[in-house]
Amino acid sequence: MAKFSVDGEEDAGDGPSSPRGKRKRSSFRINATVDFPRRSEQREQGEEQGFNSDKEESENDEDQSKRHRNDEIEEHLREDGGKRALWSGKSCTKNAKPNGSVSMFLIDPEVLDCSICCEPLSIPIFQCENGHIACSSCCNKLKNKCATCSWPIGYNRCRAVEKVLESIKLPCKQSKFGCKEIIGYGNESDHEKTCLYAPCLCPYSDCKFIASAKQLSLHFSNKHTNSATNFHFSSSFTICLKTNDTYHVLQEQDGVLFILSNSSENLGSVVKICCLQPPSLKETFSYDLRAETQDLSLVLQSSMKNIQSSSDCCHSTRFLMIPRDLFSSSGMIKLNICIWQNGSSPVHHR
């Protein structure tokens, strides 16, 4: 078992010329257990001849040390609610393997941040002659002068820390929603932009359910029956919109959810339709929206924006403006709608 910790050492700038004051280092603790592969047959035979008692004593000490290590780790995770080790993006855990393993818990989430810009370190990483490190962008901003000891920095790579970063793998933040991707440290944001399991919020106003788009459609069908207008792709359907309606939920027969948003402006009502699914999904939709009165009709044909909550629909710039005087005396207007999947032909309706 290997165990070590570094906690709050004072850094006085070891080396010549340290004009700057002392800087407090970020503290961290790493608990590591190394289980080596089984010994060769020759080594096992040697132990059988005279070292069995020493082996048993060593194993007892190791078991005791492991129990002590596990108690410490559990205590840290309880203090943190168990969240940092899984989701902070600054911690890592590597599960045990039969032929040997190393388990690491980074208790301080700032230990892998640049001490200058406080952003996560990314390769390349540079160090001065005193060992102080900085990311490449900070080296340029500081004109290659170490912020801690004023020695030159930006010419010598810190390969050790770079290898640490390369070895860290993190589960996607959306793993609880079904994503099984394991991501290299520093690539989390790139993956999140394309993750198909980004969560969506239930459009029902009193419901706080949040899940992937697929799970959300199942939830809405089971828990909010008759709360949506059902339709088929490429077939027109009609709804009646009131001036004080803020939104309507539309659900296609395959379960895909859409939000028809309505907001009142000085000139009238702004109406638009968005799809309730992550922007990363490649499946896209378009729609025809027609507002009709006895002697007038207004038409909008547009592609559709993907959103993760009904409130995001208001940010879409594709809308149909319906003048207020087109609404009936009861404050209602008929909307004729057709939604189709991009690549299929829409049914133009009257």
pLDDT tens for residues 295-320? 888 999 999 999 999 888 877 788 99
Nearest to 30 by CA among 7, 5, 8: 5
Bond from prior residue into 152 cis (ω within 30 degrees of 0) = no
Q: Mark which of 68, 91, 108 sits at the end of a domain.
A: 108
**Inside any domain, residue 128:** no
The amino acid present at 113, given as its one-letter code, is D
Helix, strand, coil percentages (3-state) for the chain, rounded to 5, are: 25, 30, 45
3-class SS letters over 285-341? EEEEEEEECCCCEEEEEEECEEECCHHHHHHCCCCEEEEHHHCCCCCEEEEEEEEEE
**Inside any domain, residue 133:** no
Q: Model pTM?
A: 0.60
**Inside any domain, residue 263:** yes
pLDDT tens for residues 216-228? 999 999 999 888 9
**CATH code where residue 250 lies:** 2.60.210.10
Express as a percent the part of the chain with pLDDT over 90.
36
Helix (H) or strand (E) holding 60: helix 52-79
3-state secondary structure of 274: strand
132: confidence class by pLDDT, cuts 50, 70, 90: very high
pLDDT at 280 over 70: yes
**Inside any domain, residue 323:** yes
In which residue are the tokens 């205590």 written? 75
Domain count, the chain: 2
For the ranges 100-114, 136-150, 194-208, which has the lowest average pLDDT?
Answer: 100-114
pLDDT at 123 over 80: yes
Tell me how far apart the alpha carbons of residues 291 and 324 are, in angstroms, rounded to a whole number. 12
The amino acid present at 99, given as its one-letter code, is N
pLDDT at 208 over 50: yes
**Inside any domain, residue 141:** no
Structural domain including 294 reads 228-341
What pLDDT score was predicted for residue 83?
38
338: confidence class by pLDDT, cuts 50, 70, 90: very high
Cα 1 to its chain centre, rounded Å, is 33
**Inside any domain, residue 212:** no
